[in-house]
Structures are given as C-alpha cells and as structure tokens.
Amino acid sequence: MQGKKPFQDKRLASFRLSERVPRDNFYRRLKAIMDVEWLYEATQKYYGREGHKSLDPVVFFKLILIGYLENLLSDRRIIQTVSLRLDLLYFIGYSLDEPLPWHSTISRTRQLLGEEVFKELFKRVLRQCVQQGMVKGKRQALDSVHVKANASMDSLKEKEIVQDGEAYAGELGEDAEDEEQTEKQTVSVFKHQQVQWHHGWKRKAYQGRPSGGWRARFVSNHTHYSTTDGDARVAVKPGKPRQLNYLGQLSVDTAHHVITCIQADYASKKDSQCLPSLLRHTIDNVKAVGLKVKEVLCDAGYSSSEALKALKQYRVTGYIPNFGQYKPTREGFRYFAGGDYYQCSRGVRLPFKRIKDSHDGTYQMRVYRSSSLDCRNCPLRKTCIGKSDFKKIEDTVDKPLYDEMHLRLQTRKAKRMKRLRQATVEPVIGTLVNFLGMRRVNTRGIQLANKCLLMAAVCYNLKRLLKWMGEAEGKGEKTLGQLLVMLYWLPVLYSRRGEQIQTSLSYAC
C-alpha cells in the first residue's frame, strides 16, 4: 500500500541542537579544534564602553569562515544559508529561535577590525598545522592569481592630464593620503602621449580582427582609474577577460600543501616586484612557528634583479627560471671577466664603455662597444652589425646573479623542483578560486581585499588540518585493530607451527 506522510507544523517542547548535529559533522569537528577565545582581548580596543552591544567578534569570524567554506560571495547569502542549516547554527552558537545578525553588520565589522587581527588568526591556525607535523618550512612554492575586484569596467574614468604631477600634488598640501589620491587621478603629459602612441600601434596591429570593444584593448592604468574602487587595477592574463583585479600572492609549504603566507597587491604590479615583500612575510610567519625557510620555487614571472637580490639578502636558495631576454652566452663572442670585455671570434675586443638606464628606467645596463675602425673591413660586418659602424653588447649590471641562477637550473634537482612547484601551489590556487570564495572579493580597497584573502587561506588550512587529523585517527584505529587481530591469531599460528614441526619429526623417525 502506498504511504503518504502528512506534515504537521507543531511546536516541540524539548529540543537540543547539539543532539541533532552528527558527531562526524564537519562544523562540529571544526568547532572542537578552534581556539577563538583570544579574539575578545585582541578586539577590545576597537569597541567603546557605552552604547549598544556589538556583534560578537567570535561569531563574526565564524560567519566569515562559513562564507568561504561554503563558497558564498555575499554577506547576505551567508545569513540566509546559516538560517537554514542546523550545523551552522550550532557552529556559531545560535539557537533556532534566536534572531541572526543583520548582514550589513558583517560588512561594518570587517571594516572596523584591524588587519593585524586577521593576520593573528592566520598565524594561530598555521601554528596548529605545525604542531600536527604538517609544515616543514624548509621549501616554499610561490605563485600569484588575479582576484576580481568589486568594481566594473564601466566605472573607469579618464585621468586628468597635468603638466607637472609633482608640482600639482605639492600645491594641494603635504598630506600623504591626499598626494597619493591625486597621483591616482592624474597623469603627466609625457606618460599620456606614450600610452596614446601604444594604443595607436595596437589599432593598426589588430585591424581586421574581431573587435572586443574599445574598453577591452585601449584602456590603461596610466590613463584611467576606477571611481568605484580606486585600488583596483585593469589586468588580464592569456585566455582571461580584461577586468579590474587585485593580485593575490601566496606561498605554500611543499610538505603537505599548507599556506604559509598570503597577501593582496595591486594587479598592475609584476610578480617579480612583489617577491621581496612576499618572501619577507613568509620568512617572518615561518620563523614565528620555529621553522626556517631555505628554498623557494617560483616560475619565470618572478625573475628580476630585485628578486634575485632579495634571495641573496635573506640567504635563501631560489629556483626561478630566468626571464626570456636573458642570454647566458653570446654567439661568436666570449667574455673575459679579468679585463671586463668581450672578444669576437676574429679577436676584436668590445671593452666596457658605460652604464645606462633601460628604456623604462627599471634597471641599469652595462654597455660594451667595439671601435668602428676594427669593424670597418670585417667580412662578417653585414650579418654582425648591419648598417651600424660598431658592435654593441648590453648586459644587465646584475648578470652574475642571473648566471648563478642559470647554472643552478641545469641540475637534476632543479627539474624536480619545477615539477614539485607545479604539483604544490597550482592545485592550492585552483581550490581557493573555485571552492573557497577567492574568485572575487566583495569589498573595496586593498586593505579589505587583504583581509578577504587571509580568511580564504585560513579556511583552506583548517580544511587540511581537519583532514590530516581525521586520517591520523583512522590510521591509529587501523593500527590498533591490526594489533588485536595479530594477538588473536598468534597462538593459533604458533600451535599450527608446532604441529607441523611435530609431524616432521615423526616422519623423520
């Protein structure tokens, strides 16, 4: 006979929330291992002594954790989801009949609390991972990812063109914040002309191709800024749309894929420009838990003179492929370090002449040049120097650092480190972006973006910690079970062995 379950909306006289949440529930286990009582003392200075009571800081951080663990990119959706789940209510410590906080309270509290509170929470979770033996600290894999900002490309506005940016900022006053804001909204005539020339070149190069709109190609951070989020920057990666982003930088321990450092930076920066700051913060975080960084693994985007100097400064061995323009040797030329000159195959010398700045002013070059008299009657003149009167070779002043890195990358260990980096940090980034809410930030400003990235990393480390502890318990139970089975069967095996020996003796007799 077919059954039919009628629904009766009745009031229960006795109900205990903790009894309705299973023992193996993820949030029940998470609540058991989290130490959050220190938050009350750490956040006390952000509240006054009078007025209405604020949202409990412990509840606030738990709501934020739920948002990233459930991949919810909206504070409103966090409250809606919590109101429908018993395990989430138990995790934050609310009863069924207790009203939840208003979603705007989460946003205001996020802005109120300082960045150091979020960093301290990240460090405490990292310390728990170290205590469980999940972090070795010796080797770190570094990488970056674009995180979409909470702003649209339609919010872009063209910067004001000024004759002299420094003089214009000086007239506004000595306030550093005002000066920084002015630099974001103004551009010099020279830089504006450079950008327009580049855009003109792109129009000719892309002529006849399918158009993606003028904003997709002819927008630059030098000439435009976002009126919605002034810290967001236009950025693009191959195969991705051009949009306003932040640059998330993170380092991952290669032992068990625990995040040891994460930070938000401007998307207009190169990875190599962010490496010194990321390396310093990683070393500080790992040192705070009693470990030491010895090696870092990066891709070619982190290669620069500034980055290699930072590695040498902190005495860290790096495995970073040199950027594409680097040349370990010059075909047909040999360098002599004793006299600091190049010599071609015909014996003509190219002595050192001077040091000059690169075209963008980011680094310095050493110029080696031959004499026009030596190259006048050379049979290889057309293929070597063309229409020029002399041969010129330019090397960066930090070429010894690149040469040292080049030799290190030729070893078998370097090839293993490349595979290890790809297998370590790239899956972590994929998990953060696709499953832990780091696809975009729902805040505005680089400081709030940094808080969002820190909380996403905290959630990732907590998930790995719970999985590690669960596997350890499983291994312990399995080992105990195997021991009991062995103790049970051991007398039987010995008795059977004795019977076999006795039988063998009887046959021998």
210 vs 133: which has the higher pLDDT:
133
Contacts 24+ apart (CB under 8 A), 78-83: 78/103, 78/106, 79/103, 79/106
- Residue 14 confidence (pLDDT) above 90: no
For the chain, the average pLDDT equals 85
Give the burial class of 191: count Cβ atoms within 10 A of its Cβ; 0-12 exposed, 13-18 middle, 19 or more buried: middle
Q: Tell me the pLDDT tens digit for each residue of 233-254.
A: 999 887 778 899 999 999 999 9
**Model pLDDT, residue 323:** 83
Residue, of 484 and 304, whose pLDDT is higher: 304
Are the C-beta atoms of residues 355 and 365 closer than 8 Å to each other? yes
Q: What angle do CA 113, 115, 121 make, to 5 degrees?
A: 90
CA-nearest of 318, 358, 284, 365 to 122 is 284
CA-closest candidate to residue 118, choices 278, 282, 263, 280: 263
- What's the Rg (C-alpha) of the chain? 31
Handedness of CA 170, 172, 175, 180 (dihedral sign): negative
Q: Considering only 90-94, 377-381, 476-480, which range has the smallest mean pLDDT?
A: 476-480
What's the mean pLDDT in 454-481? 83
Phi, psi of 304 (to 5 degrees): -170, 165
Whole-angstrom Cα distance, residue 127 to residue 24? 24
Counting residues of the chain whose pLDDT is more than 90, the rounded percentage is 59
Give CA–CA dist 438/262, Å, rounded.
12
Q: Measuring CA to CA, which residue among 69, 66, 129, 37 is closest to residue 469? A: 129
Residue 33: alpha-carbon gap to chain centroid: 26
Confidence of residue 193 (pLDDT cuts 50, 70, 90): low
Q: How far is CA 240 from CA 105, 216, 256, in A?
A: 34, 11, 30
Quote the pTM value.
0.84
Q: DSSP for 199-212, please give it.
A: HHHHHHHTTTSPP-
How confident is the model over 48-70, as pLDDT tens digits? Answer: 888 888 999 999 999 999 999 99
65 and 458 Cβ atoms separated by less than 8 Å? yes
Is the dihedral angle over the CA atoms 226, 228, 233, 234 positive or is it negative? negative
Q: Note the pLDDT of residue 458.
A: 97
% of residues, the chain, pLDDT over 70: 81
Contacts 24+ apart (CB under 8 A), 379-386: 380/346, 384/332, 384/344
pLDDT the model gives residue 205? 61
pLDDT number for residue 118: 97
- Which pLDDT belongs to residue 52? 87
Residue 494 confidence (pLDDT)? 56
How far apart are the C-alpha atoms of 269 and 127, rounded to whole Å?
31
For residue range 103-126, list pLDDT tens digits in order. 999 999 999 999 999 999 999 999
In the predicted structure, residue 195 carries a pLDDT above the cut 70: no
pLDDT at 190: 56
Dihedrals phi, psi of 32, to nearest 5 degrees:
-70, -30
* Mean pLDDT along residues 136-162: 91
**Who wins on pLDDT, 80 or 396?**
80
pLDDT tier, 422 (very low <50, low <70, confident <90, very high otherwise)? very high
Check residue 470 and give its pLDDT: 87
Indicate the pairing of strand 295-297 with strand 139-148: parallel
Q: Report the distance separating Cα 94 and Cα 107, nearest Å.
A: 20
The pLDDT-based confidence of 5 (bands split at 50, 70, 90) is confident
Residue 180 vs residue 207, higher pLDDT: 207
Strand arrangement of the beta sheet that strand 341-344 belongs to: 333-336, 341-344, 349-357, 364-369, 392-396
> What is the rounded average pLDDT of the residues 392-417?
93
Predicted confidence band of residue 217 (pLDDT cuts 50, 70, 90): low
Mean pLDDT of 448-473: 93
